[in-house]
A and B are shown apart, each in its own frame.
Chain A
């Protein structure tokens, strides 16, 4: 009897486990085949800026309730609250109730709510949510249907394409973000260098100068494992002139990836970047909290355009903190790394999509943009940026970095590039490859194989 019970219990447990896996596995492929086909469809989607099928009118008389959700910190909460207040003044019949919180757990909250069709009417979304939770366009409204309310011409086609999933403009991009170099020019000057590095040769020369004049502890650039992956992609794309992933397939051969890994190795060998063992031995989880960065021993980072203030304020002497130039590694293309940082969508469960669209337009194109400023990054909407600048609500350093990134980058980002299987800092493929390479556990050949296997694994799981 006892045996039977324990068998039964074990069976029940395996069944629940299997059930858990089953749904995940079976839903994923469906999800991404849609995503793949949508990337193909995007080019037409944006050009056919379909006019709304029927004219909409904002209801200004009947009482209407809208909900909105976002994540962020104190200053963002405050900006949104003020903007909503202004919106309610403009449309006294509309009440907007917000829900907001910190980023941690927010995705779980929203994905659960979306699964139950209980998402707030207007939702601040992360870019990959569109692909993850609404691959067939079943969760978010196609905003092109409301183009008479939201002025969609304020966004570039590239930005809109990135938010077009399953041939449906599921969100408007709030802001675009990308990676750029930041330099601590005080250290560079000590090493006798006056200009920010703009070429590969400049980097190598800086590495030499740092080692000779300042000592072995000084490096012109410090990058973590994920930064290395981004920098390598950057290098490869500009040298070979093709995107890292296109049509859900990695476009690079093993030899080409080996070339990219050798490039990272050459930075280590020439004392441009510290090796991973050196960085890990220093024992910090992010560069802005490291003593080496604070004291100026690491004199450069390759970071988000939205992040400079954090790194700048961490420095003991921040007078030399400078937004660098993107570096041209090849002639075929510029390469680089930029993506939609977040977007704003209307859920399908929204009862008043017209008024929700009016709220979005108010926040990102209209008066609200002046209040929001750069709280959610530099506004991607032209009109929004103009009114935010007019109101002096944009951080100049972030704007400088953002402008440089967006003017330079010419390659689209694969939506699965940041998949946690690849990016995870403990057991992600990128970590394995770049730490393994730096620790000399793998030679470039092996590392390239592991990387390509990992990437195609993620892509085919999403195909």
Chain B
């Protein structure tokens, strides 16, 4: 593919609001995971929670969209002066020439979960004031972002579980390549809700402590919430961009709805396709951000794929021990962590991981490593066997 400039990005999660806060937390090897105190949830697990969402409100003119997911979207759009950069781009390109391709897994389902507790005892009806289209529906996020940024080009939500906000880079790249738009806002948001907390618990995939990716004693995920956005433009138009999207690879497992292919076949295909799309080989990659959720099977399958493709040499790690698993927002969050790694020449170590599982072969970083990062590959794998890998790098 033609590389695309990433001229601005923003990030918010339990490590903080904005690139600097998140980068500082990673440099300081800080984890944002805390014992679960979300809503009325009584589960013995840790979460990565963004403070202040209960008190936050979306911009008054978009009040109908007010829900936890869109509140966090707004925090993300305001962080790192992202909305300001989009305003600048809108003046250059025109609102109709800018697309919005964002991802979410659960959107505003929390609103429906809470509304179901307040059904009319006689009729069973949902409480008055429940706004389905603006909160619960999966498209709500793109609708909100498009209106918040006053963009008028193409838009949609990609919702493919934990690969959602990696795959949006592909939608945007295709729309720019075909001239449907000149620039695009990508990224997305997922927020804490009961469906994912109780759902992953029923699958026995939540850890009782803070998650420990690739650890010999890893026992599951910690669920987190977060937002991340990136502004994609054609290269010549965005000189001075520090980082670019170089390649993207997508695949399906064709194996199981909630368990990865044990040999990581789908994962390996996604990475191979991403490298081919970038016109690069494994040795061109300096660092791999693993999906690294911290479950027994996910880490084992990904390890097979990564150690096979990269000969167990390329440094790699997961930052989910710091942020938790941001589910639909994992793809954009970890793509941005790769961008931070490229900008700062810092390969993040793995918070909470004590001793790497000797059965896993890849070159897993527990401690931070200061080394040149020209190009990074980021993995995102989801339920339904949906896989996506991104290649990011300094522009040539």
Answer yes or no: do A and B interact.
Answer: no
Please report B residues at the A interface, Cβ cutoff 8 Å.
none
